[in-house]
């Protein structure tokens, strides 16, 4: 049972506020924001997503820089509340096309209308865009997406990749196109977040792939869809011996440790031909989440070296090698490395003649940042940095610096080799063949090399 729901901007402005039960004081949004902002005096520690203050429980999730908050006085399931907040954000995004402070403010009447149908007297009624369509009547006022910086997972597809119809993902599920007819299309995104930890000698200590098959349908009439996955896909590691299979570059079965499915998914034929069938509801939703600990070839190898070079001086050499085919290009790469706290100055030595790279020393956090716009598969890049210290280091310099961490996005690549072999839309009579977009992308979740 939810007592209140509200959305706050980053500055703590109340954008949306709905009181369902009237048993929590009106000033809760302000109380909440102050608590979150000053969670710890030094501001370094983040407030946890759930906390209790004077008998009121506050739940919050951050979505595109906005705080979605719920309050209650009862001992509610935290998963339920947090899941709900995430879903509310998704429903609003489905309706408005784009979730931002501006779009919320412009559409606040629609948002309140949605909120009244999603929750009644604190009880969740539905969070399905499909169901809500029959109860909600306001038309969204579409905010010009081009004016806003791209945000959220959808933004992955908009970074300089012409093959992606960038505007589609910020298109409202309900709004009518200016041209009149809705474009028939469906998006299936295979998003994989990878976590890899390399030991100081370059071995993979741990690795994991957390994947999602995300779907967003703009098809009219809700036809049934069949998604065919790899023939050699297995769920659960128990049946197959876990070693002896090649990495991502090799062949062999794809083994998911575990997965879960959206409630619309039927798996009647899964064991026979590895297909999932579903009638996709309107809006964005994950068809399937999966987890893989099977070994795979990490997309980048990292070589990091830090050495003392006389007193009060040291040198850092970072080498990044892209271990994927040259037809693929990674973008927005950022390499970070904490430096010894007594570091005062850093001189960088980038590869001569290179473009789209920059290196910086963030003095306040004592951190080295090296950003690269893109890396083509198979290439290697090196950064040299000379450090100056204000005092002599005691002991081992490698204990004072590192680890090296990396973030990146690689479109059209997924290390698990999980594939959507085909996407079949049950035949509809007159309409032309709808557009189908199957897209792959890999992101770094935690990509760390110890030194």
Partner 1 sequence: MAPPAQSQRSPSPSQPSGKGEVSDLKMQLRQLAGSRAPGTDDTKRELFKKVISYMTIGIDVSSVFSEMVMCSATSDIVLKKMCYLYVGNYAKHNPDLALLTINFLQRDCKDEDPMIRGLALRSLCSLGVANLVEYLVGPLGNGLKDGNSYVRMVAAVGVLKLYHISPSTCVDADFPALLKHLMLKDKDAQVVANCLTSLQEIWTLEASKSEEAAREREALLSKPVIYYFLNRIKEFNEWAQCIVLELVSKYVPSDSDEIFDIMNLLEDRLQHANGAVVLSTIKVFLHMTLSMTDVHQQVYERIKAPLLTLVSSGSPEQSYAVLSHLHLLVMRAPFIFSSDYKHFYCQYNEPFYVKKLKLEMLTAVANESNTYEIVTELCEYVANVDIPMARESIRAVGKIALQQYDVNAIVDRLLQFLEMEKEHVTAETLVLVKDLLRKYPQWSHDCIAVVGNISSKNVQEPKAKAALIWMLGEYAQDMQDSPYILESLIENWDEEHSAEVRLHLLTAVMKCFLRRPPETQKALGAALAAGIADFHQDVHDRALFYYRLLQYDVTVAERIVNPPKQAVSVFADTQSSEIKDRIFDEFNSLSVVYQKPSYMFTDKEYRGPFAFSEELGNLSIGTEPADNVVAAQGVEANDKDLLLSTSEKEESQGYGNNGSAYNAPSYNASTTGASQSSLDLVSLDQPSAVHTTTSFAIDELLGLGMPAAPGPAPLPSALLLNAKATIDPNAFQQKWRQLPVSLSQDISIDPRGVAAMTNPQALPQHMQGHSIHCIASGGQAPNFKFFFFAQKAEESSVYLVECIINSSSCKVQLKIKADDQSTSQAFSELFQSALSKFVLP
- End-to-end alpha-carbon separation of the chain, Å? 49
- Residue in 257, 308, 315, 380 binding partner 1, rule: CB under 8 A: 257
CA–CA separation, 169 and 138 (whole Å): 21
- CB of 184 vs partner 1, minimal distance in Å: 26
Residue tagged 């606040």 (tokens) = 108
Quick one: 137 or 430, whose CB is closer to partner 1?
A: 137
x/- mask, partner 1, residues 71-90, rule CB under 8 A, reads: --xxxxxxxx-xxxxx----
Binding flag, residue 192, partner 1 (CB under 8 A): no
Binding flag, residue 403, partner 1 (CB under 8 A): yes
Binding segment for partner 1 (CB under 8 A), chosen from 206-214, 276-284, 295-303, 305-313, is 206-214
Binding flag, residue 409, partner 1 (CB under 8 A): no
CA–CA separation, 398 and 312 (whole Å): 15
- CB of 78 vs partner 1, minimal distance in Å: 4
Binding segment for partner 1 (CB under 8 A), chosen from 101-109, 271-279, 302-310, 411-419, is 101-109
Residue tagged 């037809």 (tokens) = 327
Binding segment for partner 1 (CB under 8 A), chosen from 109-117, 171-179, 272-280, 432-440, is 109-117
- CB of 68 vs partner 1, minimal distance in Å: 9
Buried residues in 217-250 as b, exposed as e (16+ CB within 10 A): bbbeeebebbbbbeeebebeeeeeeeeebebbee
Binding flag, residue 286, partner 1 (CB under 8 A): yes
- Residue in 197, 301, 371, 382 binding partner 1, rule: CB under 8 A: 197
- Residue in 12, 133, 145, 155 binding partner 1, rule: CB under 8 A: 155
x/- mask, partner 1, residues 326-345, rule CB under 8 A, reads: ------------x--x----
- CB of 451 vs partner 1, minimal distance in Å: 10
Binding flag, residue 427, partner 1 (CB under 8 A): no
Collapsing DSSP states into helix, strand and coil, what is residue 82?
A: helix
- Structure token digits, residue 255: 């083994």
Say if strands 233-235 and 254-256 run parallel, antiparallel, or are unpaired.
parallel
Binding flag, residue 65, partner 1 (CB under 8 A): yes
- Residue in 2, 7, 29, 60 binding partner 1, rule: CB under 8 A: 60
- Residue in 30, 34, 35, 123 binding partner 1, rule: CB under 8 A: 123
325 Cβ partners below 8 Å, 6+ apart? 377, 378
Q: Are 235 and 258 in contact (CB under 8 A)?
A: yes
Quick one: 116 or 349, whose CB is closer to partner 1?
A: 116
Cα separations in angstroms, 371 against 1, 334, 382: 46, 4, 12
Binding flag, residue 432, partner 1 (CB under 8 A): no
- CB of 77 vs partner 1, minimal distance in Å: 5
Binding flag, residue 384, partner 1 (CB under 8 A): no
- Structure token digits, residue 216: 């967003």
- Structure token digits, residue 228: 């065919």
- CB of 124 vs partner 1, minimal distance in Å: 4
Binding flag, residue 120, partner 1 (CB under 8 A): yes
CA triplet 22, 26, 28: central angle to 5 degrees? Answer: 110
Binding segment for partner 1 (CB under 8 A), chosen from 119-127, 381-389, 408-416, 433-441, is 119-127
Q: List strand residue ranges (DSSP E) for 237-328, in order.
A: 254-256, 258-261, 265-266, 275-278, 283-292, 300-308, 313-322
Q: How many residues bind partner 1 (CB under 8 A)?
A: 95
- CB of 435 vs partner 1, minimal distance in Å: 26
Binding flag, residue 259, partner 1 (CB under 8 A): yes
Binding segment for partner 1 (CB under 8 A), chosen from 59-67, 276-284, 296-304, 412-420, is 59-67
Binding flag, residue 165, partner 1 (CB under 8 A): no
Collapsing DSSP states into helix, strand and coil, what is residue 435?
A: strand
CA–CA separation, 389 and 393 (whole Å): 8
Binding flag, residue 61, partner 1 (CB under 8 A): yes
How many CA atoms, within 13 angstroms, populate the side-chain half-sphere of residue 421? 10
- Structure token digits, residue 198: 């390399």
CA–CA separation, 236 and 231 (whole Å): 15
Binding flag, residue 308, partner 1 (CB under 8 A): no
CA–CA separation, 343 and 361 (whole Å): 10
CA–CA separation, 138 and 175 (whole Å): 10
Binding flag, residue 236, partner 1 (CB under 8 A): yes
How many CA atoms, within 13 angstroms, populate the side-chain half-sphere of residue 362? 11
Binding flag, residue 253, partner 1 (CB under 8 A): no
- CB of 74 vs partner 1, minimal distance in Å: 5
Binding flag, residue 450, partner 1 (CB under 8 A): yes
């Amino acid at each position: 049972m939810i007592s209140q729901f509200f959305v706050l901007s980053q500055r703590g402005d109340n954008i949306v506020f709905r009181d369902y039960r009237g048993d929590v004081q009106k000033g809760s949004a302000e109380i909440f924001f102050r608590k979150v902002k000053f969670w710890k005096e030094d501001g370094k520690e983040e407030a946890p997503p759930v906390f209790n203050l004077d008998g009121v429980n506050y739940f919050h999730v951050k979505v595109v820089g906005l705080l979605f908050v719920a309050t209650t006085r009862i001992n509610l399931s935290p998963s339920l509340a947090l899941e709900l907040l995430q879903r509310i954000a998704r429903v609003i995004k489905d309706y408005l096309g784009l979730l931002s402070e501006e779009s919320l403010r412009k559409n606040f009447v629609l948002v309140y209308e949605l909120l009244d149908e999603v929750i009644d007297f604190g009880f969740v009624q539905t969070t399905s865009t499909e169901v809500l369509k029959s109860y909600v009547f306001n038309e969204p006022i579409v905010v010009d997406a081009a004016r806003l910086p791209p945000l959220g997972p959808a933004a992955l597809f908009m970074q300089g990749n012409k093959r992606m119809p960038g505007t589609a993902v910020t298109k409202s599920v309900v709004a009518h196109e200016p041209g009149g007819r809705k474009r028939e299309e469906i998006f299936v995104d295979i998003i994989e977040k990878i976590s890899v930890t390399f030991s100081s000698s370059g071995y993979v200590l741990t690795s994991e792939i957390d994947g999602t098959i995300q779907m967003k349908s703009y098809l009219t009439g809700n036809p049934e869809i069949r998604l065919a996955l790899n023939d050699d896909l297995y769920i659960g590691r128990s049946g197959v011996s876990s070693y002896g299979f090649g990495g991502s570059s090799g062949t062999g079965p794809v083994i998911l440790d575990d997965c879960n499915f959206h409630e619309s998914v039927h798996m009647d034929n899964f064991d026979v031909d590895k297909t999932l069938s579903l009638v996709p509801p309107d809006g964005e939703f994950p068809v399937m989440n999966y987890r893989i600990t099977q070994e795979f070839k990490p997309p980048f190898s990292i070589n990091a070296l830090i050495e003392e070079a006389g007193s009060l001086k040291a040198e850092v050499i970072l080498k990044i090698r892209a271990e994927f085919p040259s037809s693929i290009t990674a973008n927005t790469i950022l390499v970070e490395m904490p430096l010894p706290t007594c570091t005062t100055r850093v001189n960088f030595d980038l590869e001569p003649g290179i473009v789209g790279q920059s290196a910086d020393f963030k003095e306040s956090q004592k951190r080295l940042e090296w950003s690269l716009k893109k890396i083509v598969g198979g290439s290697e890049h090196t950064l040299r940095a000379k450090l100056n210290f204000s005092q002599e280091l005691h002991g081992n310099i490698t204990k004072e610096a590192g680890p090296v961490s990396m973030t990146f996005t690689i479109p059209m690549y997924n290390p698990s080799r999980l594939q959507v072999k085909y996407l079949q839309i049950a035949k509809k009579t007159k309409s032309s063949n709808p557009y189908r977009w199957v897209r792959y992308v890999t992101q770094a979740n935690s990509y760390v090399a110890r030194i």
